[in-house]
Structure 1
Amino acid sequence: MIKLFVTDLDGCISEPFRTPNWDAINRIRELNIESRSLDIIPPLTICTGRPYPYAEAVAQWLDIKLPFVFESAGLFHWDGHRFETAINTENGEMEPIRQMKKWLTQEVLPNYPGVNLEFTKMMDAGIVGPDVKVIEKLHGLILEKVKNDYPGMEVHATDISVNTLMPGNDKLQGFKLLSKALDISFEQMAYIGDSSGDVPALKKVKMAFAPLNAKDIAKKHGVVIQKKSTEAVLEAYQKIIEYNKSAGETQS
C-alpha cells in the first residue's frame, strides 16, 4: 500500500508564473481531505526546492496537515511550527552557499534584469526568472562557477530556476526526513517530479511519476502521465488510489 503521496510544486502542482488550474487543485485537495477517512487514499504532502513561504502557501491551498519539504531538504512541522534540517546553518557549514549568493547578487544578476535571487532561502543559493533561455545561460555560468570554486556542490535546474546546494542536501535528504518523521518507508511512498532535482527521490520511491512537461531526465525515472502539471498530479493521485484498491482486494 502507498501511505504517502508527495508532489513537487513548479511544473507539477502548478506552472510557474501562471494561474493554476483551480478545478484540478480543488479535486486534489478533496482527495487529500478524503484520505483522513479512507485508507485507500494516501495523504498528500510537498517536496519542493522553493522556499518555505511559497511551500506553506500551497500547502494551505491543499489542506496539507503533514510535514512538508522546502528547499529540497528542509522539513516544516505544523506542530509547533518547527523546522528540521540535516545541515547546521549556524556553524559555518553553509559558507559556500553564502559565497554563492554574494557572487550571484554582486556579479551576475545585475546583468540579468528580471531574474532574482530567492531571498528567503536558508540552505541553498537559488535564482528564479520567467525567461527559459536566460535561465539556461545562467545554469551554464553557475555550473562553471561551482566546478572551479566549489567542486562537489550540487546544481539543479528547472525552466525557471537554478538551485545550488551543499553535497547530498537534495530531495532525497528531504524524503529521508519525511520518512523518519512519519514512520513511512520509501516502499510506501509515491512521488511526482519534473526536473533533475527530483531524480534522487524518484529513483527511491515505490511509485514514481513525471508529468508530460517534465524534463527527459525525470521521465526516465517515472511513469509519464500524458497530461501536464496539475492535471498530471491529479491523474497520478487517482492511479495511486487504484493501486491501493487493487492491493487491498488482493490481500483480502
Structure 2
Amino acid sequence: MIKLFITDLDGCISTPFKKPDWNVLSEIRRINEQHVDDMAVPPLSICSGRPQPYVEAVAQWLGIRHPVSFESAGIFHIDKSEIEFLPVFNRKAEKQVHELKQWLKDEIIADYSGMMLEFTKRMDAGIIHAEKEVIDEAYPKITSYISDRYPLFEAHKTDVSVNVILSDNNKRNGVLTLCERFGIKPEEAAYIGDSSGDIPALEVVGRPFAPSNAADVVKDHAEVLDLEVTEAVLKAYRLIIRENREVLSEKLSG
C-alpha cells in the first residue's frame, strides 16, 4: 500500500514560464486534504531541485503541511519552519557552490541573453533559460567543466534549467529522507518525475511514475502515463488511491 505520494515540480506540477493549470491543481489539493480522514489517500509531498521559497509556495498551493524536499535533498519542515541539510553539505561544499555560481556568471550566463542564476539556492548552482535550445547548448560546457574540477558535483538538465548538485545530495536521498521523516519504507512511497535528476528517486520508490512529457531516459524507469504535466500528477494520484482501496478491501474481506 502506498502511504506517501511525492511529486517533482517543473514538468510535473507545472510547466516553467507558463500559467499553471489552477483547476487541476485545486483538484490535487482537494484530494490531498482528504488524507486526514481517508486511509486510502496518501498525503502529498514534494521533492524538487527548485529552491526552498519556491517549494514552500507550491506546498501552500497544494495544502501540504508536512515535510517537503528542496534543492533535491534539503528538507523543509513546514510545520516548524525549519530547514534540514544532509551532512554532505559542509563548509567545503558550500565554498565550492559559491565558486561554481561565480563561474556560471562569468563563463556561461554572460554568453546567453536572458539566462540567469536560480535565486536563493544554497546547496547547488542552477541556471534557468526559457529556451530549450540554449540549455542544450550550455549543458555540455557545464558538465565538461565540473567533471575536470569538481568531482563531488554532477549536472542535470531540464528543458529550462541546468542544476549542478552535490552527487550525494540527489533526489534519491531526498526521497529516502522524506520517507524516514514520515516513518515509512521507500517501497511504500510513490514518485512522479520527468527529468534525468528524477531517476535516482524513481529507482527507490514502490510506484514510480512519469508524465508523457518526460525525457526518454526517464521513461525506462517508470510507469509512463498518457497525460502531460499536472494532469499526469492527478491521474497518478487517482491510480494510487484506487489501488490502495483494493488493498484495504482485500484486508477487510480476508
Normalising by structure 2, what TM-score? 0.96
Unpaired runs of at least 5, structure 1: none
Aligned residue runs from structure 1 range 1-252, under 5 A:
1-87=1-87, 89=89, 91-252=91-252
Q: Check whether the contact 2:94–2:122 (CA below 8 A) recurs between aligned residues.
A: no
Provide the rounded CA distance (Å) in 1 between the counterparts of 2:248 and 2:195.
32
Map Cα deviations across residues 109-150 of structure 1 (whole Å, 9 max, x no partner): 111111110120010010111010000111111111012211
Q: Check whether the contact 2:156–2:163 (CA below 8 A) recurs between aligned residues.
A: yes
Q: Check whether the contact 1:45–1:64 (CA below 8 A) recurs between aligned residues.
A: yes
Letter in 2 for 1:121: K
CA offset at residue 170 of structure 1? 0.3
Q: Check whether the contact 1:11–1:214 (CA below 8 A) recurs between aligned residues.
A: yes
Letter in 1 for 2:73: A
SS in 1 for 2:212: coil
Map Cα deviations across residues 147-191 of structure 1 (whole Å, 9 max, x no partner): 221134211110001001112110011112212211111011000
Map Cα deviations across residues 48-94 of structure 1 (whole Å, 9 max, x no partner): 00001111111000000110000001000023211001136562232
Provide the rounded CA distance (Å) in 2 between the counterparts of 1:218 and 1:168.
19
Q: Which moved more, 1:235-244 or 1:89-98?
A: 89-98
Provide the rounded CA distance (Å) in 2 between the counterparts of 1:148 and 1:176.
29
Unpaired runs of at least 5, structure 2: none
Letter in 2 for 1:4: L
SS in 1 for 2:121: coil
Provide the rounded CA distance (Å) in 1 between the counterparts of 2:247 and 2:142.
45
RMSD across aligned C-alpha pairs, in angstroms?
1.1
Provide the rounded CA distance (Å) in 1 between the counterparts of 2:123 and 2:13.
23
Q: Check whether the contact 1:77–1:83 (CA below 8 A) recurs between aligned residues.
A: yes
Map Cα deviations across residues 180-208 of structure 1 (whole Å, 9 max, x no partner): 21111101100000000000010110001
Provide the rounded CA distance (Å) in 2 between the counterparts of 1:107 and 1:187.
42
- Structure 1 residue runs of 4 or more that deviate by more than 2 Å after TM superposition: 87-96
Q: Check whether the contact 2:97–2:122 (CA below 8 A) recurs between aligned residues.
A: no
Q: Check whether the contact 2:147–2:154 (CA below 8 A) recurs between aligned residues.
A: no
Count residues in correspondence: 252
Provide the rounded CA distance (Å) in 1 between the counterparts of 2:177 and 2:104.
29
Q: Check whether the contact 1:212–1:227 (CA below 8 A) recurs between aligned residues.
A: yes
Provide the rounded CA distance (Å) in 2 between the counterparts of 1:70 and 1:85.
10
Q: Check whether the contact 2:132–2:160 (CA below 8 A) recurs between aligned residues.
A: yes
SS in 1 for 2:93: coil
Letter in 1 for 2:48: T
SS in 2 for 1:53: helix
Provide the rounded CA distance (Å) in 2 between the counterparts of 1:34 and 1:169.
32
SS in 2 for 1:194: coil
Q: Check whether the contact 1:87–1:93 (CA below 8 A) recurs between aligned residues.
A: no
